[in-house]
Amino acid sequence: PNVRATVQELYDGLTAQSQNRWPSLAFDVSALGDVASPLLSAGFYYKTFMWPKSAWKNFYEPRIRAAAGLGVAPDQPDPDHYSARFAHCDVLVLGGGAAGIAAALAASESGVRVILADEQADFGGSLHFESGARIDGQDGFAWAQRAVATLKAMDNVRVLSRT
């Protein structure tokens, strides 16, 4: 639950369903809030829904939270297992896009211990989607793949994806 469709990696056996839509995904009444959003500043509800005082906790707040799109929290423990790793480095680079890869390359050439970490399965960031991006005279995504292969071959560099 509570994962944006644009960032969820697809895999065999994935079960997904939409949430926070009523009466249906095709016609969501809450989508009308998109039209009114420029008129509603952040935190407006703290000033607007003040009376009666008891209504905040029992009526207003639950509905505002539901409208925020947070979904329903699971009531069971997470069945998945996650690995833990303890690592030490001199330079930690978070993000495996073009800038992160370039930073890891620059740091690794000085001989320091480097960790390059990215939350995605593949490195390259927006270079996956940018046609025409050129780095060092190469296609941007091809450069990223070669650079990551170079980093993985170095003894002083750890490359971590999905982390």
The string of pLDDT tens digits covering residues 10-29 is 889 988 877 777 788 788 88
Q: Is residue 84 part of a domain?
A: no
Which residues partner with 64 through β-bridges? Answer: none
Q: Are residues 144 and 106 in the same domain?
A: yes
What is the token pair recorded at 155? 């003894």
Q: Which domain holds residue 144?
A: 91-160
More confident residue, 110 or 17: 110
The structure tokens 């450069």 sit at 143
More confident residue, 92 or 45: 92
Instruction: Report, as an integer, the average pLDDT of 59-88.
Output: 78
For the chain, how many structural domains are there in total? 2
Would the pTM count as exceeding 0.75?
no
What is the rounded end-to-end Cα distance, in angstroms, of the chain? 19
The phi and psi torsions of 23 (rounded to 5 degrees) equal -80, -15
The string of pLDDT tens digits covering residues 119-161 is 998 999 999 888 889 999 999 999 999 999 999 999 999 999 9
